[in-house]
Amino acid sequence: MTDIVPKTIAAGVNFSATAWRTEYSGAEWAMVLLLRGPSSIDLPAGRDGARHVWDVPASESAAWTPGAYAYQVRATNDAGDAAVVESGMVTVSADFAGLEPGSEVRSANRIALDAIEAVLAKRATMDQDRYRINNRELYRTSPTELLKLRAFYQQKVNEESGGGRSRFRDLRVRMRPIGG
């Protein structure tokens, strides 16, 4: 179950999370969020009754290095017991306020889709799928394979951007006259 740590954490803004597990509640257990990736980030939780709470100010998260991180939420007690409460992957996105002009802001899926579309556009003027010069041979990805890759990455980009669909696409409305 992954409900403590979101899929993405934005650097440069406040980060808040809460954990409550009956088996790790109370004064005898402490929790820490460990992030490992482009840098190591250890975030001990504070307590609010039986709940464990993380409140990281924007000034602290602004220093986090963007990238993909593996994470663990660990519970420990004074007896030396330790347990992994939750683990997974999280992306720390760059501090938007600190982005320089010309920064790459496209997702990896969008970059791949743009590259595939550029190859397809150039391919329209080429009629060779392979050629040999001296003892070196070059095979090009077939247009059919490129179109399959394009469809795959287009779907990924659509998922990232909400697919361009309204969440109410299946909403049906029936109108009735008042008093009828």
Residue with token string 């969440």: 167
CA dist list (Å): 18 to 2, 69, 70: 12, 19, 19
Residue type, 46: G
**What does DSSP assign to residue 38?**
S
Residues 6+ apart with CB under 8 A from 29: 52, 75, 76, 77
Band of residue 42 on the pLDDT scale cut at 50, 70, 90: very high
Query: In percent, how much of the chain has pLDDT > 70?
Result: 83
Helix intervals (H) in the chain: 58-61, 108-123, 143-160
Helix intervals (H) in 53-142: 58-61, 108-123
Average pLDDT over residues 33-61: 95
pLDDT at 1: 47
Residue closest to 39 by CA, chosen among 67, 8, 61: 67
pLDDT higher than 60, residue 164 = no
Average pLDDT over residues 59-66: 95
- Reported as a single tens digit per residue, the pLDDT across 17-38 is 999 888 988 678 999 999 999 9
Helix, strand and coil percent figures for the chain, each rounded to 5: 25, 35, 40
Residues 6+ apart with CB under 8 A from 114: 106
Instruction: Write down the domain spans for the chain.
Output: 8-95, 108-162
How much is the pTM?
Answer: 0.66
- Reported as a single tens digit per residue, the pLDDT across 97-142 is 888 888 777 888 898 999 888 888 876 555 555 666 777 776 677 7
In angstroms, the CA 30 to CA 171 distance is 46
Band of residue 177 on the pLDDT scale cut at 50, 70, 90: confident
In angstroms, the CA 67 to CA 7 distance is 12
pLDDT higher than 60, residue 169 = no
The answer to whether the beta carbons of residues 115 and 108 sit under 8 Å apart is no
Q: What is the mean pLDDT of the chain?
A: 84
CATH 3.40.950.10 fits 8-95, yes or no: no
Name the 3-class secondary structure at 35.
strand
What's the farthest any 2 CA atoms get from each other in the chain? 86
Residue with token string 């399959």: 148
